[in-house]
Amino acid sequence: MEAIILAGGMGTRLKSVVKNMPKPMAPIRRTPFLEYILNDLLNQGIKKVILSTGYKHEVVKEHFGASYQGMEIEYSVEDVPLGTGGAIRKALKQITQPEVFILNGDTMFRANLPAMKEFHRAHQADLTLALKNMNDCSRYGRVETKDFRVTQFKEKMAGQPGLINGGVYLLSQHLFSGLEQLPEKFSFEKDFLEARHQNYNVMAYLSNTYFIDIGIPEDFSRAQQELPNLV
């Protein structure tokens, strides 16, 4: 199994606590957040990771090099910001398998990846999203489903429970074929998922495993307490 991790974010909302480094490299008890993601991927059988980098990409490469505990690491570097969609499309050129996991470098969602892959294949999906049930979807918006198929994306609503997009995808390589009309820079979430999901078999894999998004100082602080204790 192979994975692409979107690791090019600047961490604008974390500037008060993390300065001069890509957001996935933010230290959790002196260990980059990205290491916790890689450890989870290692434990789940991922053999190769493409780190999609941009802002201060040299910081990431200097830390990890070409491998991490036996896992092969390659780099897809954005010379100019391409958005999440453009970054994925660029990194896909380095993938050798028919399917690839996509993860956000500032989020940990410990979905069962081998089970997600079985689900994806059983439903002959073009794309599978790992979703998590939340009591309050105000930060993320909601994803509506029917019979495990994604049917709609809804705007953020304070205090509303529902399923959120946990930022872990399993994408079949053919998905981006024929999408040359999309610009070089585009948002995977807005310009592809929300605008085009009806054109594909997009499935929802539900998981209630551990989830944290370090994008705001409060959750970055919580990560300092929780992540070192994960097994």
pLDDT level of residue 11 (50, 70, 90 thresholds): low
Residue of higher predicted confidence among 19 and 193: 193
Q: What is the pLDDT of residue 22?
A: 87
Q: What is the pLDDT of residues 39-91, one digit of tens each?
A: 999 999 999 999 999 988 999 999 999 999 999 999 999 989 999 999 999 99
Residue 10 has pLDDT above 80, yes or no: no
Whole-number mean pLDDT of the chain?
91
Residue 207 has pLDDT above 90, yes or no: yes
Q: What is the pLDDT of residues 136-169, one digit of tens each?
A: 888 888 999 999 999 999 877 677 889 999 999 9
Residue 30 has pLDDT above 70, yes or no: yes
Q: What is the pLDDT of residue 231?
A: 64
One-letter-per-residue 3-state SS of the chain: CEEEEECCCCCHHHCCCCCCCCHHHCEECCEEHHHHHHHHHHHCCCCEEEEEECCCHHHHHHHHCCEECCEEEEEEECCCCCHHHHHHHHHHHHCCCCEEEEEECCEEECCCHHHHHHHHHHCCCCEEEEEEEECCCCCCCEEEEECCEEEEEECCCCCCCEEEEEEEEEEEHHHHCCCCCCCCCCCHHHHHHHHHHHHCCEEEEECCCCEEECCCHHHHHHHHHHHHHCC
Q: What is the pLDDT of residue 63?
A: 95
110-114, 148-152, 216-220: the lowest-pLDDT one: 216-220
Domains and CATH numbers, the chain: 2-229 (3.90.550.10)
